[in-house]
Structure 1
Amino acid sequence: MTTTDRLLRLLITLAFAAASAALWWPVDAQAIRLKEIASVQGVRSNQLVGYGLVVGLDGTGDQTTQTPFTAQSVQAMLQQLGISVPAGTPMQLKNVAAVLVTATLPPFAQPGQAIDVAVSSLGNAKSLRGGTLIATPLKGADGQIYAMAQGNLLVGGAGASAGGSKVQINHLSAGRVPNGATVERGVPTPWMQQPFIQYDLQADDFNTARQVADAINRLKGAGTAEALSGRSVSVKLPDSPGARVAFLADLENLNIDRATPAAKVIINARTGSIVLNQSVTLGPCAVAHGSLSVTINSTPVISQPAPLSQGETVVTEKADIQINQQPGSLIQMPAGSKLTDVVKALNTLGATPQDLVAILQAMKAAGALQADLEVI
């Protein structure tokens, strides 16, 4: 046997061993990390909002005759700067726009850190492109100031108008200021004040809550975690802050065996979109589907009087109504235990998504569709 033959035989043996190992020890493809299905209670973001002014626009600001609050805001700002404007003075402010400023304060944000802000026109400004946001306090739901926003706007669009013609690309009435707000105060989180934290699951499932608690107990010891309900799991924490951070870092990357989700069919009533998850099953049933269309055509009929008869012209309408009903044959749909079987059975009907909504509702009422229908 030559050296080449021996090398080829060795490679075949290694390939066979690798394939055998894959069969005996399969990789769990449905494992998911804990931080992707649960969140720590109290560790959350907070929404901030503020009212401000954008200046420096190229004649595309608010029309003060239709948005008087813009002129009032400019007068109040000038008074704070020590400039008094006589009452009743008309103000033609074409380069100023009143805006609402929104931002999201992330958890554990500390004073001095920068966050992005979104700026949206509140009046009838044509464009915010090239504008500068003046210092705007951002408040939380409790009315306290948590950040100050200021900076130049980035508007992802362009436009031009002249002689009654207008060309516009994207949206010009909203923009962003990257790192445009400075955090002034942080929001205290309760996770350092209590010996326990609570993981809140994204879906209400008792099996998933039990699996999360069991996985944490296997990693950190028995009695560390306890499932409180189908959505919450209580976890005991170490005492020192550094140990708690390391403890939670280990937990958030912990792999959890994903449980089979509840069978559900999501229907979007506005677009007609239908989504089925892998747990949807179909029992044996028979479905007849046909379409009914009604067409109404109206034709005006003009009746004119004879000459010198002193009559009047009469206009009437002649309506032509047509009803077209397509026959629907009775189709037997076999039981389907997999999502692919359900999809094949529904495709045999040849119905539109709008028709499938009514068919799925009828299947659910008949007990042939083992799934919950949810309309969004």
Structure 2
Amino acid sequence: MDTKLMTIFRLALLPVLMMAVLFSAPAQAERIKDLGTFHGIRPNQLTGYGIVVGLAGTGDDSLEYSSQGMKGVISRFGLTLPPGVNPSLKNAAAVMVTAELPAFAKPGQRLDITVSALGKAKSLRGGTLVMMPLRGADGQIYAMAQGNLEVGGLGVSGSDGSQLSVNIPSAGRIPGGATVEQAVATGFDTAPKLNFNLAEADLTTALRVADAVNLAFGDKRARAMDAVTIEIDADPGAESRIMMMGLIENIVVKPADAPAKVIVNARTGTVVINGAVRIAPAAIAHGKLTVSVQEAPRIVQPAPFSKGETAVEPSSSIKVEEEKRPVIDFKGGANLADIVKGLNAIGASPADMVAILEALKQAGAMKAELVVI
């Protein structure tokens, strides 16, 4: 059979195979597109330096780099300031502009941009960004930006030096403030193979994704190369690859169960235990010992007409209290619900819980990774 006819036959058969995979998938299954991305199809960061004008006296004043930036803007219109003259820029501010260029963005499309003050500007409210280029990591210009800022913050100052700020007035956004001037070549249509990269490394999930792709297409075109990358054979050409990638993204796969982990935030005392944590047979006794020392000094007065002296006699009282709490007996294979129920029964606080979990880990009764963040 001709190669082109084979390709058409496979693509026609794919919807039937896809429906079979979808209806046979378990309830916790996810689409492949939610597990990762294809290599090369990614956004790119853009950044640039510009000048915001039209501020109500809240600009950079006479900072050197602001003055140089304004001179550059003026020079575009054929004007040149006399040597040694630095304009006072209370109504202008030097800013850094950032944006994200999505994959497959084409010239003429609009991008949202974020504008942030570089120097001493108090507020960018009411400002206008003068046209400036946005460059990628390779130094090339990929977009041009210009527009009026939207600033959610507010800054007010008095003549006595008092100040009031609401949110951050020195940063703002311009929706659709940049126009794409150059597309980024992804190379997905010319690469010898397609690589799908998982967002989280897992050998079992990588094998399941490869098996699901092979089942849907009825061949052995997908291979798990490591815990992240699945290599897929694909016919050359953008049209056939786009169609195949779209079908692959909607295949449903059940990811592997997450490894057993206990996450402890040492700063906030937050403890998170995932459902994969299991406890081997263990007994926990967690008590609270309180020792209180009270001082009650007494004044000793000698008898009349004696040669004794008035003195202070120390008197101490030591009291020990131990709060008795029940011993929790964990049976083998105790799950998350059992752990929570047992720790609540002894009234464990987050700090107590961390100590108990650490002790279980040291005793070898908890087979889970303890992560402190």
Q: Which residue of structure 1 lines up, in the alignment, with residue 201 of structure 2?
A: 204
For residue 108 of structure 1, the aligned residue among 83, 86, 104 is 104
Partner Cα separation in structure 1 for residue 145 and residue 96 of structure 2: 11
Indicate the SS of the match to 1:229.
coil
Q: Which amino acid aligns with 1:257?
A: K
For residue 242 of structure 2, the aligned residue among 245, 260, 263 is 245
Could you state the TM-score of these two structures normalised by the residue count of structure 1? 0.78
Partner Cα separation in structure 1 for residue 352 and residue 240 of structure 2: 57
Q: Which residue of structure 2 lines up, in the alignment, with residue 157 of structure 1?
A: 153
Q: Which residue of structure 1 lines up, in the alignment, with residue 300 of structure 2?
A: none
**Larger displacement relative to structure 2 (342-351 or 32-41):** 342-351
Partner Cα separation in structure 1 for residue 260 and residue 245 of structure 2: 32
After superposition, the Cα gap between the structure-2 partners of 1:90 and 1:191, relative to the gap in structure 1 and judged at 3 Å, is closer
Q: How does 1:1-376 map to 2 (within 5 A)?
A: 28-64=26-62, 67-164=63-160, 165-289=162-286, 331-335=327-331, 336-376=333-373
After superposition, the Cα gap between the structure-2 partners of 1:375 and 1:136, relative to the gap in structure 1 and judged at 3 Å, is farther
Whether contact under 8 Å (2:221, 2:232) holds in the other structure is: yes
Deviation per CA, 1:7-61: give whole Å up to 9, x if none.
xxxxxxxxxxxxxxxxxx9982201000001210111111111111111111111
* Runs of 5+ consecutive residues of structure 1 not aligned to the other structure: 1-24, 296-321
Deviation per CA, 1:43-87: give whole Å up to 9, x if none.
1111111111111111111232xx332122212322333222223
After superposition, the Cα gap between the structure-2 partners of 1:122 and 1:221, relative to the gap in structure 1 and judged at 3 Å, is same
Indicate the SS of the match to 2:188.
helix
Deviation per CA, 1:162-211: give whole Å up to 9, x if none.
45554433221111111111112121112111242011112222111111
Partner Cα separation in structure 1 for residue 286 and residue 78 of structure 2: 76
Indicate the SS of the match to 1:102.
strand
**Larger displacement relative to structure 2 (152-161 or 92-101):** 152-161
Whether contact under 8 Å (2:66, 2:94) holds in the other structure is: yes
Indicate the SS of the match to 1:363.
helix
After superposition, the Cα gap between the structure-2 partners of 1:326 and 1:167, relative to the gap in structure 1 and judged at 3 Å, is farther
After superposition, the Cα gap between the structure-2 partners of 1:367 and 1:108, relative to the gap in structure 1 and judged at 3 Å, is same
Deviation at 1:222, TM superposition (A): 1.7
Deviation at 1:284, TM superposition (A): 3.1
* Runs of 5+ consecutive residues of structure 2 not aligned to the other structure: 1-22, 293-317
Partner Cα separation in structure 2 for residue 135 and residue 32 of structure 1: 44
Whether contact under 8 Å (2:61, 2:91) holds in the other structure is: no
Q: Which residue of structure 1 lines up, in the alignment, with residue 7 of structure 2?
A: none
Q: Which amino acid aligns with 1:125?
A: A
Whether contact under 8 Å (1:290, 1:325) holds in the other structure is: no
Q: Which amino acid aligns with 2:153?
A: G
Whether contact under 8 Å (1:288, 1:328) holds in the other structure is: no
Whether contact under 8 Å (2:142, 2:180) holds in the other structure is: yes
Q: Which amino acid aligns with 1:104?
A: E
